[in-house]
Structure 1
Amino acid sequence: MVSNLLSHIKQVAECPSFSTYEERLHPYIYSVFESITDDELIVEGNNLVFRLGNNPNKPTIALTAHLDKINHYGKDYPDLLPVAITDHYIEGAMDNSVGVGLLLYFAGKAKENPSWPNLLFFFSEMEESKGLKEHPDLLKNNGKDFDHGMGARRIAQACIDKDWLPDQVITLDTTPLFKGKQGIALYAKHWELNGLEETESLRLITEQVVQNFLAIDSTIQLHNNTNDYLHYGYEFNAHTGKDIISIALEPAIYPYHQKGERVFIEDLMQLVQILKAYLKYNDKLRK
């Protein structure tokens, strides 16, 4: 498990898929999915959506990660960004190579677990805002017509238009909240940060999901922070009339938004086991 996952993360982290240049990662992602599924939803921009399973009697879970990296190198970036792997951590452009690598890993494992829920895989552009704020000259067209979170919003709208609606959205990213220590964080109250009007029904089903995760692993820490999970939470709930759960599950990263970001391998192993157990639990549910 570890070598396969780390291999995906390394391949992703080496690619200079900076904000607005996310298409540089597309060939590798397609190389993984070509043997898994050809069920793809075309989305505007540099976004990718794949579907595994369409059984109406099963729940549908979307796993999401953003494709873009922050450019810490300027115009003279290397063809392959540096990555180092030790017994304890993987180092490099981990935000959000970790999330993308995890999606690719779980896409491969889904073939071995046909009883899992229907799965959607969302790969989004432009999650990062740092480039837009600080170095728009490093973005295509000097950042004009690009917006923070536009990828997640485009994906959600495309899924709504084509009726590819998930019951739950789980965003996999990295969290700076542990400040150098190990840990797994769970964000769940997106309505506190995205302006969505909270409903009791959405709050209750979200709380049940949180409790299900804590039953799997009580060391998960509850926090809240900004990332694409806010956009998915808003778009799917504001524009469908349905209660669609959106949460984020994230291993610790340190330092953050800098060169040489590190993620603990133990955290990655823990997160994989948590999510496998969660998918196994959900394969027993029926809609």
Structure 2
Amino acid sequence: MSLTERCLQIIADTARIPSFSSFEERLHPYVLALAEQIPGCEITTVAQRNLLLYVPGQRPGLLALTAHLDKIDHFGPDGPAELPFLRTKTEIQGQMDNTVGIGIILSLLEQAPNRAWPGLLVLLSEMEEGTGLREHPERMRNGGAGLTSGMGAERLARHLIEEAQLPDAVITVDTTPLFRGKPGCALYAGHWEFTKTVPSPLETQGTQSLTDRLLALDPELYLGNNTNDYLTYGKVLNEETGPETAIPSVALEPAIFPYHQRNERVYIADIERLLALLEAYLSQHEPFAS
């Protein structure tokens, strides 16, 4: 099976599971069963609903790939036990936000033991979405009490700090609405525009270096910005480790349309494009010079 086909299989499987915000553990059995088949994969559960997977590398460095586990609940209390998914010749359709990101990074993780790649951390977070908290908290665990958007990424980032397991960089894979129905892939690389933080010179340098490396591999990436977990990883990992330990945080995102609705569509060609980009990048990643 090709990497693209394996990725699409994982997306289809995870898209059908109603792992709505605050009920992310519904996806855990699938992810854990997959991870347990990867030689050398270490599995850590962080604060009950977040997962951290680690595979040692065969070249220097440590790279974190991230995606969020939660889906927006567009279905309500009478929703189906299995969510709809459809694949056509050119698109996949269903709850693609963010099963596309999950499929991309897990299919790459499966490849890691047999590739000359750096060590890989896969961070799978709870509560990236804020829509449920704003629009229907009654559908969420404990009526939404104690929940905040981005809390999973924050917990995972702090876990990495506490365990001294800091990556060279963080690449979040999510989906972007910026193309408004057309195909395309975006690169976000300025978390401080939303987090209102001031990047250190070292973080600015590292982020630009990572951006340049990705653009060298795919010059047609659209440079944009939007909100998702990459903001939280960038803010927490850099604010709480000090200016001498800068960790670039960026996001790579295929186009999605419609956005934050039922039956979201993503182009298969965009998924294949990001898989090829990340596969190439992992083959040449080196830690950033300080």
Q: Taking structure 2 as the reference length, what is the TM-score of the superposition? A: 0.95
Residue in structure 2 matched with residue 44 of structure 1 by the alignment: 47
Aligned to 1:9: 11
Q: What secondary structure, in the 3-state scheme, does the structure 2 residue paired with 1:84 have?
A: strand
> Which range moved further: 42-51 or 74-83?
42-51
Report if aligned partners of 1:9, 1:100 keep a CA contact under 8 Å in 2.
Answer: yes
The range that moved more, 89-98 or 42-51, is 42-51
How much has 1:102 moved relative to structure 2? Answer: 1.0
Match in the other structure for 2:166? 165
2-structure distance, mates of 1:42, 1:89 = 33
- C-alpha distance in 2 between matches for 1:127 and 1:2: 25
Give runs of aligned pairs for residues 257-276 of structure 1, distance below 5 A.
257-276=260-279
Contact 2:90–2:269 (8 Å) recurs in 1:
yes
Please tell me the residue identity of whatever aligns with 1:87. Answer: K
The whole-number CA distance in structure 1 between the counterparts of 2:113 and 2:41 is 13
SS where residue 42 of structure 1 aligns? strand
Q: 5 Å matches for 1:189-208? A: 189-208=190-209
> After superposition, where does 1:1-287 map in structure 2 within 5 Å?
1-36=3-38, 37-53=40-56, 58-113=60-115, 115-241=116-242, 242-282=245-285
Residue pair 1:63, 1:103 contacting (<8 A) in 2 also: yes
**Displacement of 1:4:** 1.0
- Output one character per residue of 1:150-176: Cα deviation in whole Å (capped at 9) or x when no partner: 000000111111111111000000000
Measured in 1, the distance between the counterparts of 2:54 and 2:246 equals 21
1:19 positional shift = 0.2
* Paired residues of 1:58 and 1:285 also in contact (CA < 8 A): no
**8 A Cα contact 1:251 1:268, kept in partner:** yes
Consecutive unaligned residues of structure 1, counting only runs of 5 or more, are none
2:176, 2:256 within 8 Å by CA — same for their partners in 1?
yes
Give a deviation string over 1:248-267, Cα, whole Å, max 9, x none: 00000000000110000000
- Cα deviation for residue 223 of structure 1 reads 0.3
Query: How far does residue 104 in structure 1 lie from its aligned partner after superposition?
Result: 1.2
Paired residue type of 1:236: L
Change in CA separation of 1:237 and 1:91 when aligned onto 2, cut-off 3 Å = same
Distance in structure 1 (CA, Å) of the matches to 2:57 and 2:92: 35
Alpha-carbon shift at residue 40 of structure 1 (Å): 2.4
* Residue identity in the other structure for 2:260: H
In 2, Cα distance between equivalents of 1:157 and 1:6: 31
User: Please, what is the CA RMSD of the aligned residues?
Assistant: 1.6
Amino acid at match of 1:17: S
How many angstroms does 1:213 deviate by? 0.9
- Residue type of the alignment partner of 2:155: R
> CA 1:257 to 1:284, structure 2 compared with 1: closer, same or farther past 3 Å?
closer
Looking at structure 2, the residues matched to 42 and 22 of structure 1 have their Cα atoms a distance apart, in angstroms, of 12
- CA–CA distance in structure 2, aligned partners of residues 41 and 235 of structure 1: 20
**Distance in 2 (alpha carbons) for counterparts of 1:253 and 1:111:** 31
| One-letter identity of the residue aligned with 2:65 | L
- Partner Cα separation in structure 2 for residue 278 and residue 89 of structure 1: 25
Tell me how far apart the structure 2 counterparts of residues 160 and 284 of structure 1 sit (CA, whole Å).
18
Aligned residues: 285
Gap change, CA 1:239 and 1:90, over 3 Å in 2: same
> Matches of 1:286 and 1:109 in 2, distance apart?
27
Q: Is the 8 A contact 2:127 2:149 kept in 1?
A: yes
| Comparing 155-164 and 194-203, the one that deviates more | 194-203
Change (3 A) 1:200 1:260: same
Which whole-Å CA distance do the structure 2 matches of 1:252 and 1:118 have between them? 28
Offset of residue 51 of structure 1: 0.9
Following the alignment from structure 2 to structure 1, what is the Cα–Cα distance between the partners of residues 281 and 41? Answer: 25
